[in-house]
């Protein structure tokens, strides 16, 4: 079941602030210390989003029936929301009241990352990397041969980005772009195994994996 806990003393004690037995929570997004959304789904096809504006005291559901599949990530810029599932990327321009699919499914969808309400990137299986500069109206595709699964894409700014892709032998590789996704090249962190995520701490030169 979906449960959200809150601590106000650095983790020494935790209180339950939300429970939904039909909600598998996949993640959360913090606007600030008071406004938070949590997302995920129920079964394989139903998505769910909840939001609080008073630091978890009260929660309410944001409509998400138009989104197919469990929500893997969500981000918002004011009233503009982007939600990503295994079946594509969905957008709402009115605080989640209505959603449209802005990038269809071309195989299993891996990850997306939006820098602002207009510029975003998406990684699909089979080495497809997509970019939009106009909020998902149009997308430009780059194909990277030799890769089968996409796991995580992350940009530190509009030019510098990283993506985790699996080769046909199921070894994870990290690719980097320095020109906003036009060209990609492998970087070697000395790892020869399988990993799912990448994130940065304070500097683009400190890279962490899991």
pLDDT for 171-184, tens place per residue?
888 889 999 999 99
Taking alpha carbons only, the member of 32, 35, 79, 75 closest to residue 53 is 35
Together in a domain, 1 and 91: yes
The neighbour count for residue 39, using CB atoms within 10 Å, is 27
Please indicate, yes or no, whether residues 30 and 73 belong to a single structural domain of this protein: yes
pTM value surpassing 0.75: yes
Q: Are residues 150 and 183 in the same domain?
A: yes
Comparing 27-31, 190-194, 206-210, the range with the smallest average pLDDT is 206-210
Q: Answer yes or no: is 114 within a domain.
A: no
pLDDT for 144 equals 86
Domain co-membership, 100 together with 125: no
Looking at 44, 74, 105, which one is the last position of a domain?
105
pLDDT score recorded for residue 5: 93
Percent pLDDT > 90 in the chain is: 36
Same domain, 54 and 152: no
Percent of the chain exceeding pLDDT 70 equals: 85
pLDDT 10s digits, 65-97: 888 888 888 888 988 999 988 788 999 998 887
- The answer to whether residue 65 is domain-embedded is yes
* Inside any domain, residue 130: yes
**What are the tokens at 150?**
């996409």
Q: Is the pLDDT of residue 61 over 80?
A: yes
The residue among 74, 105, 136 that closes a domain is 105
Dist. CA 153–CA 136, nearest whole Å:
17
Residue 71 in domain: yes
Q: 190 lies in which domain range?
A: 120-210
Q: How confident is residue 192, by pLDDT bands cut at 50, 70 and 90? A: low
Query: Domain check: are 4 and 62 in the same one?
Result: yes
Examine the domain organization and report whether 87 and 124 are in the same domain. no
Per-residue pLDDT, 203 = 54
Residues 101, 146 within the same domain: no
With CA atoms as reference, report the closest residue to 76 among 124, 144, 125, 30. 30
Question: Residue 17 to residues 30, 112, 184: CA-CA distances in angstroms?
Answer: 16, 29, 43
In a domain, 69, yes or no: yes
In a domain, 169, yes or no: yes
Predicted confidence at residue 124, as pLDDT, reads 84
Q: Which of 78, 105, 132 is the last residue of a domain?
A: 105
What's residue 43's pLDDT? 67
Say if residue 101 is in the same domain as residue 137.
Answer: no
Are 105 and 127 within 8 A, CB to CB?
no
The pLDDT value recorded for residue 78 is 86
Query: Could you give the number of structural domains in the chain?
Result: 2
Identify the band that residue 47 occupies on the pLDDT scale cut at 50, 70 and 90.
confident
Q: Are residues 95 and 4 in the same domain?
A: yes
Examine residue 111 and state whether it is found in any structural domain, yes or no. Answer: no
**Would residue 110 count as lying in a domain?**
no
d(CA 23, CA 78): 25
Residues 96 and 2 in one domain: yes
150-162 tens-digit pLDDT = 878 889 899 999 8
The pLDDT tens digits of the residues spanning 108-149 come to 677 889 999 999 999 888 888 999 999 999 999 998 888 877
Does 125 share its domain with 200? yes
């Amino acid at each position: 079941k979906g449960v959200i806990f809150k601590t106000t003393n650095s983790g020494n004690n935790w209180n339950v602030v939300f429970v939904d037995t039909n909600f598998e929570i996949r993640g959360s997004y913090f606007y600030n210390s008071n406004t938070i959304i949590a997302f995920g789904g129920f079964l394989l096809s139903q998505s769910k989003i909840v939001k609080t504006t008073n630091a978890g005291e009260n929660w309410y559901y944001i409509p998400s029936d138009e989104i197919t599949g469990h929500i893997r990530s969500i981000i918002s810029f004011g009233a503009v929301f982007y939600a990503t599932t295994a079946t594509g990327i969905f957008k709402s321009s009115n605080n989640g009241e209505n959603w449209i699919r802005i990038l269809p499914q071309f195989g299993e969808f891996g990850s997306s990352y939006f820098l602002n309400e207009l510029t975003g990137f998406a990684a699909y299986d089979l080495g497809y990397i997509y970019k939009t500069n106009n909020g998902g109206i149009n997308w430009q595709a780059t194909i990277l041969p030799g890769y089968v699964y996409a796991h995580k894409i992350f940009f530190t700014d509009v030019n510098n980005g990283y993506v985790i892709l699996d080769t046909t032998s199921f070894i994870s590789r990290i690719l980097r772009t320095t020109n906003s996704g036009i060209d990609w090249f492998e970087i070697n962190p000395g790892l020869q195994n399988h990993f799912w995520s990448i994130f940065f701490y304070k500097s683009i030169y400190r890279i962490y994996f899991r």
